[in-house]
Structure 1
Amino acid sequence: MTGEYALRRDELQSSARALAGHDYHALWLDHVLAAATALACGDPWRALLEWQRFLRRIPRFVPLRLRDYADGVLRALLTATGSEPEHPQAGDPGFVGRLVGYLSGDRQTWLGLREVNPHDGRLLPVIRLAATHLAAAEAQHPADLLKVAGRLRRLELWGPAAAALSGTREILLSRRTVGGVKRCDEQLADIEQQLERRVAWYRRGDLPTSTYVRLTPREHEAAALAAQGLANREIAEELHCSTRTVESHLAQARAKLGVSTRGELAELQLLGGTRASARRSGARSAASGQALG
């Protein structure tokens, strides 16, 4: 829950093996780490399943304080999955609720971090990082969001890292910064590839921030003609509009699809139809060689 579990996984497992009754400790730790991994991937349902298994197996002599904490995690996961509506009298969801909400993508809970000082050294690093993430997103600072994404990736907090990259992509897309959008797509694709290698149950596209973008009909038409090798002037004649309008359509299409050249548009094989879509995460790798539209 600290956000550093992935960096200390080997240390925790070694400690568990050194304890008396190590088989039980290893079993409990497996459930805890599996829940943490699921939450870090933005999957509160799987995290809830693993946490319930953990609670069913822990011994009765666990100190009450720790049992209360474990039950608090359970309540936070139930709320995050919608299995147990948050009670009106509950008020502030507290540290556990805010952390679970942030990792699972529940923006309403995440907003509880608005007043958190990201420079408060008394807070766990993941809470300070989440507060920095929120501040950068609200201020629309793509450079700060990219820094946050890098730190989240080092902690293997994949869901929030993908959220930071997706937020950066949206800002850059609105500013038509094609190169920046492409770099975000590459990093999102890399997160997907790492998860496929490291997490047995993960399937590409499971991240909650994996969304689709759509070209408008005119963007699709302009991009399809450009992919066929037509010059902007020829496209303008075909679409009965100005060259500047064509340039605008192509710039927006390239940014949405995460490509920068006509050749890359051709690789995507934009065929007939009125609309085309591509994965935000890894648009080129997901769409290359396939017909869109």
Structure 2
Amino acid sequence: MTDTADTTRAAVIESERLGSDNVWDLVTGPAGRGLAESADPRDRIRLARYEQLAGFERQAHKRLADILRTVDDPAVRAEARGQQLAGAAFEPGLETVDWLAHRWPEGEDVTALRTKLAISYALLMNDGVEPPEGWREPPTERDWNLQLARVREVHDGFLAYIGQADVAQILSALDLVVLVPLLILTHSMQDESLAAAGRMSRLAERARIRGLQPYVDYVEGVSLTAAARVDEAAAPLERAAAGFSDAPNLGWWMTVRGTQYVLSVMTATTPPDDVERLERELLAGTWRDGRRSLGHGVIASVALMLAGHGDLEAARRIALSEGDIDDLQVGSSNRCWLAEVIFTAALAEGETDECDRMLRIVEHMMPSPWQQATLHRMRTRRDGGPVDPSDGVPEIPGSIDSEILRTRWVSLAGAVEHGHRSSAYRALAALDEFAAQSRAAAFRVRAVQLFRPPRTTTGVTLSTRQLEVATLAAAGRTNREISQELFLGIRTVEGYVRGALAALGLSRREELATVELPVDVPPPAGEVVQLTLRQGQVAALVAAGATNAEIASALEISEKTVDKHMAVIKDRTGVATRTALVTLFRTAIAPSRPSR
């Protein structure tokens, strides 16, 4: 199959197989066996490419090493070595390569592009790993700018190559179709990654490669997650998980699930219900026989999820489940996450040496937006927070949106923890504004609950009628509504409310929404109320307990304007009291997404 006609026929056969099968089905089926038994080494290189994409990294590496050992043709050797380097970049355990000294290839052919991608990604995978001789001077902004220049060259070269590609050319670069979008996303280029996800879908459709669809769905889902467009990310991620669920090597499935776990933190929702399966795969699955970096990335995601849900001990245990942080084959963003998780857990236990080590790791990484945002957060926590926490965790230009969301959350949590009321309200308004872009209503609710954490009522005894009235009041019912529902006089209802407040140790009716009552009566059913961005901010601040004067100060508007917003909010939601608005915010208010 050395001439163009034979190569085209091979591409047609593979395209037909990928039109009905998954990549791993092609690898393990008749088409894969035919490529493995071919006398033409280029066919075996093609098979290795599919094997790498399917997660059979070690198998592909051995196949390519055999070609390099037995074939003398310089062009074939260059193609095999470029494919092998691509595998070694994502699986550093396969071989030792001095990536810093590796020659940057010239040209825009697919082999040169693959080698450029390998070098770019490998440098990111090694970022933050302490060298045997110990740390030297930290990387500078120049180092990061050089890294970005490399990545843009790969991106632009790939666009030029793929623009007019036929089916055979698409197949020859199928790994790049998946990896280039992920490469640019790991460098905080979320807009380019979103565009690449759409381009992947069009390429797959044009070439009729159905087997590429799970990868398309994953790139789209992870790009939307990075962009904090959480309401759009869930569906493609679930499709990707379903698409990868029957693969012999579950590394890609695990990666999708890891992203979904991160999404669950951002939306305060329950993670996928097959956590036990994921845990079994992490402990004893076949992913270690393939691309271990996929499984290690999942470890970072699960650790981040556990930390986000407040289980720091479990988060650190997962983060170190494969050994030391230096033993994990992850990109710099994941290494930042892991270092921050371990740092936060160690800080809670007073382990200063471990805190200092994690901080030193992040300090010696290239100053990417990920690194700078993480470093600011870690230093802020270590130092106990600045005088004004809402100004103490700056957003880094070039950060992806999900990282900005996390940074605003840290600002808010720090302000609440340190009792800076005015700063906390400003931080809440800033977070609410950003969360509106993703319609992450659950994230907004979590933010408000920082101001009003639920308090246990263990040991408190309420009469049946007190409990009934208190539950309705906590759900936002007015005294008149309660009296009509329970056929009681208004003064009687007022007495039950006063008695419940006294028994619970509360001073205000609004505080009933902050305690755990044995019975929970939901507010009247209805559609989600859509508010403008400013109305959503006002509603969030009301739910957090801010007065009109405090709202005006936080949003830098007049109290008269706050009154106008409140009137519109009450009209649109149909509630008449601030207490009712607190409950409604937690269940049925979402901001309209502003234009971006």
Q: TM-score, normalized by length of structure 2?
A: 0.28
CA distance in 1, matches of 2:87, 2:171: 15
Which residue in the other structure is 1:157 paired with? Answer: 292
The alpha carbon displacement at 1:88 in A equals 9.5
Q: Are 2:288 and 2:295, in contact at CA under 8 Å, matched by a contact in 1? A: yes
Q: Are 1:102 and 1:110, in contact at CA under 8 Å, matched by a contact in 2? A: yes
Which residue in the other structure is 1:146 paired with? Answer: 279
Q: Does 1:18 align with 2:151?
A: no
Partner deviation per Cα, 1:243-285 (whole Å, 9 max, x = no partner): xxxxxxxxxxx976233984524653686441799xxxxxxxx
- Secondary structure (helix, strand or coil) at the match of 1:125 reads coil
Q: Are 2:71 and 2:77, in contact at CA under 8 Å, matched by a contact in 1? A: no
CA distance in 2, matches of 1:71, 1:24: 16
Residue 102 and residue 163 in structure 1: after superposition, are their counterparts in 2 closer, same or farther (change >3 A)? farther
Partner deviation per Cα, 1:119-175 (whole Å, 9 max, x = no partner): x4xxx434x5433554574416554333344543442331x3233112321343355
Q: Does 1:268 align with 2:355?
A: yes
Which residue in the other structure is 2:523 paired with? Answer: none
Partner deviation per Cα, 1:203-234 (whole Å, 9 max, x = no partner): xx84332345999xxxxxxxxxxxxxxxxxxx
Partner deviation per Cα, 1:171-221 (whole Å, 9 max, x = no partner): 4335544442222222476464365xxxxxxxxx84332345999xxxxxx
CA distance in 2, matches of 1:19, 1:129: 32
Partner deviation per Cα, 1:65-89 (whole Å, 9 max, x = no partner): 6544014444444544338642497
Query: What is the letter of the counterpart of residue 147 of structure 1?
Result: R
Residue 146 and residue 89 in structure 1: after superposition, are their counterparts in 2 closer, same or farther (change >3 A)? closer
CA distance in 1, matches of 2:170, 2:328: 35
Q: Does 1:210 align with 2:335?
A: yes
Which residue in the other structure is 1:125 paired with? Answer: 248
CA distance in 2, matches of 1:176, 1:57: 43
| Counterpart among 158, 171, 182 of residue 69 in structure 1 | 171
Q: Does 1:95 align with 2:146?
A: no
Which residue in the other structure is 1:169 paired with? Answer: 303
The alpha carbon displacement at 1:3 in A equals 1.1
Residue 110 and residue 7 in structure 1: after superposition, are their counterparts in 2 closer, same or farther (change >3 A)? farther
- Secondary structure (helix, strand or coil) at the match of 1:208 reads helix
The alpha carbon displacement at 1:32 in A equals 0.9
Query: What is the letter of the counterpart of residue 335 of structure 2?
Result: S
CA distance in 1, matches of 2:338, 2:251: 28
Residue 165 and residue 10 in structure 1: after superposition, are their counterparts in 2 closer, same or farther (change >3 A)? same
Which residue in the other structure is 1:29 paired with? Answer: 80
The alpha carbon displacement at 1:111 in A equals 4.8
Which residue in the other structure is 2:432 paired with? Answer: none
Residue 35 and residue 96 in structure 1: after superposition, are their counterparts in 2 closer, same or farther (change >3 A)? farther
CA distance in 2, matches of 1:172, 1:88: 32
CA distance in 1, matches of 2:321, 2:83: 28
| 1:251-262 equivalence runs, <5 A | 257-259=344-346, 262=349
Q: Does 1:5 align with 2:57?
A: yes
Q: Does 1:116 align with 2:116?
A: no
Q: TM-score, normalized by length of structure 1?
A: 0.51
Higher relative contact order (CA 8 A, sep 6+): 1
> Which runs of no fewer than 5 residues in structure 1 stay unpaired?
42-48, 59-63, 196-204, 216-253, 278-293
Number of matched pairs? 211
Query: What is the letter of the counterpart of residue 297 of structure 2?
Result: A
CA distance in 2, matches of 1:267, 1:101: 38
The alpha carbon displacement at 1:13 in A equals 0.7
- Secondary structure (helix, strand or coil) at the match of 2:334 reads coil
> Which runs of no fewer than 5 residues in structure 2 stay unpaired?
1-52, 93-103, 115-165, 185-191, 226-232, 262-270, 357-380, 387-391, 394-596
Q: Are 1:98 and 1:112, in contact at CA under 8 Å, matched by a contact in 2? A: yes
Query: What is the letter of the counterpart of residue 248 of structure 2?
Result: P
Query: What is the letter of the counterpart of residue 95 of structure 1?
Result: G
